[in-house]
Amino acid sequence: MSETTPNAATYVADHAWRDGRWQADARLAVDARGRLAADGGEPAERLGAWVLPGMPNLHSHAFQRAMAGLAERRGKSGDSFWTWRETMYGFAAAIGPEELQAIAAQLYVEMLKAGYTQVCEFHYLHHQPDGAPYAQPEAMSLALVEAAREAGIALTLLPVLYMTGGFDGRPLAARQRRFGHDVSGYLRLLEALKAHEGDDLRVGIALHSLRAVPEEAMRAVLAAGAARDLPVHIHIAEQIGEVQDCLAVRGARPVEWLLDHAEVDARWTLVHATHLTGHETARLARSGAVAGLCPTTEANLGDGLFPLADYLDAGGALGIGSDSHISVSPVEELRWLEYGQRLATRHRNIAARAAGDSVGATLWRAALRGGAQAAGLPLGELRAGMRADLLVLDERAPLLAARDETSLLDSFVFAGNAPLVRDVMCGGRWQVRDFRHRDEERIAARYRRTVERLAGG
C-alpha cells in the first residue's frame, strides 16, 4: 500500500528476534513480494545490532488522534468514560472522508516511527453526520485505505456494525446515526471492501459491542457467507456500567454471555475485556481468542485493570492497541500494562510468570503473537513466508549501551522515553530511515491544515 515497491535483497543483523529469542548473525532475505524468504544472496546491507519484528496495533479509532488532549478539563459533574464519549461524538460530527484521510495518514506515520507496522482499524464513522449515506457508501472506509497506502502501513480494516443505543434496544441517538447499518447494509459494505483486499489489506468484522448489536443481528452476520473466516473484533466489558446493564437485561455478564452464545475461537479479539470474574478469565483464555488490551486509553478513560497474571497463567493470548491514541507507542502500552499490575498488587515483574523470565521479552513476545492473530495477516515473526515487517533499533543510543541479549528488551520497554526505533521496514519497503518517515513533511503539513480548519469550526 506504499508508493514504493519492495526490493528483493538480503540483509544481516548482529541479533534478530526469532522464535521468541535473539539469534546472532541472522540473515534476512526479502523477496519481490515483500515477504521474508528462506535464503538469499550475499548480504547487501548490515541492518544493525538489534532487529525486531514490527508490532501489530490491534485496536485503533484513527479520527480520535486529532482530539487527543482535548478532553482533559473537569466538567460540572463527575467525569467518566460516558462524559468523554459525548465530547468524542461532537468532534466526530465534523469529520468527513477528506479529514479522516488526513488525520489517519498522520497517525499511521506516527505509528510506524514508534514501531507499529500494522494497524487494525475499528471503523464506525460510516455515513454523513445526519446519518445519510455518502454517494459512495464506503467512502469513509476507503479514506482509511488511502491513508494506510500513503503512510505505508499494513491495514486490517474492521467496518463496525452498530445498530442500537443500548442493551434495551433503544434507537441510535442523533449523534450515533452516522454509525448505523442494518444487517443487509452492513454485509453489502463488507463485500464492497473485500474487493480491495491485497497483500497489505485485510478486511474483518467488528461488532461494536453487545449493547449496540442485538443477538439476532450478531448471529445473522456471523452466519453470512461474506463473514466466513474473517477476523471478528468486539468491544466488551470495558466499563462497570456496561457489565451492570448486561446483567440487568441479558442476565449474564458480557464476556460470560458472549462465550455462551457465540462460537468464540481464535478468529475473535475481545477488546478491553477489563472487568472479568475468575471464571470468565479462564474461559476466555481457553477459547483461543485474543484479549485486545489498550492500557494507555484504558487509563485515560478510567476503565480499570485487566486481570493479567491470572490470564497469563491460564495460557491466554493478548495483544495491544493504541485505541484513542492518547499515546502512540507500543513501548508505552506494554510498560503501562505491567505498571498497572504493579500498582494494583504492590509487587514487581508481574508479567514474567517464572523466576528469571524477562518482563520486556515476555510482553513483546505475547503482543506480537496475539496482534498477528488479531490482524489476520502473516506477520509478527522474522521467518520465511511472513511479511517483511521489521524494526532496527538505534544501537548508538545511550539507553542501550552495554546491553546484551538478556537485558535488551527490558531496556527497550522500560528505560526512558528517547526514540529507539531508527529504521522501519513494512512489507519489504523502507518507510522510516534514520528516524524520519519518507513522506512525513507533506503528511504533517496537510494534517495541520486539517485540524486548524476543524478547530475554526
Q: Within 13 Å of residue 367, how many CA atoms lie on the same side as its CB?
A: 36
pLDDT for 1 equals 47
* Neighbour tally for 430: CB within 10 Å: 17
Please, is 117 exposed, middle or buried when counting C-beta atoms within 10 Å of its C-beta (0-12, 13-18, 19+)?
buried
Spatial separation of the C-alpha atoms in residues 457 and 442, rounded to whole Å: 23
pLDDT for 230 equals 97
**CB-based contact 59:23 (threshold 8 Å):** no
* Neighbour tally for 130: CB within 10 Å: 9
For the chain, report the end-to-end CA distance as a whole number of angstroms.
33
Strand partners, 159: 123
Structural domains of the chain sorted by starting position, each given as residue range(s) with its CATH number in brackets: 9-53+383-440 (2.30.40.10), 55-375 (3.20.20.140)
Does the pLDDT of residue 72 top 60, yes or no?
Answer: yes
Q: pLDDT tens digit string along 181-223?
A: 999 999 999 999 999 999 999 999 999 999 999 999 999 999 9
User: CB under 8 Å to 414, separation ≥6 — which residues?
Assistant: 335, 359, 360
Please, is 387 exposed, middle or buried when counting C-beta atoms within 10 Å of its C-beta (0-12, 13-18, 19+)?
buried
Q: Which of 123, 153, 164, 128 has its CA nearest to residue 3?
A: 153
Spatial separation of the C-alpha atoms in residues 117 and 111, rounded to whole Å: 7
Mean pLDDT (the chain, rounded): 94
* pLDDT band at residue 4 using 50, 70 and 90 as cut-offs: low
Q: pLDDT tens digit string along 379-435?
A: 999 999 999 999 999 999 999 999 999 999 999 999 989 999 999 999 999 999 999
pLDDT for 169 equals 96
**CB-based contact 144:90 (threshold 8 Å):** no
* Neighbour tally for 38: CB within 10 Å: 10
Which residues are annotated as catalytic? Answer: 272, 323
Spatial separation of the C-alpha atoms in residues 437 and 127, rounded to whole Å: 31
Strands 45-48 and 9-18: parallel
Please, is 377 exposed, middle or buried when counting C-beta atoms within 10 Å of its C-beta (0-12, 13-18, 19+)?
buried
pLDDT for 88 equals 81
pLDDT for 85 equals 76
Mean pLDDT of 28-42: 88
> pTM of the prediction?
0.96
Spatial separation of the C-alpha atoms in residues 122 and 58, rounded to whole Å: 9
pLDDT for 63 equals 92
Does the pLDDT of residue 48 top 80, yes or no?
Answer: yes
The more confidently predicted of residues 314 and 87 is: 314
Q: pLDDT tens digit string along 240-273?
A: 999 999 999 999 999 999 999 999 999 999 999 9
Q: pLDDT tens digit string along 120-174?
A: 999 999 999 999 999 999 999 999 999 999 999 999 999 999 999 999 999 999 8
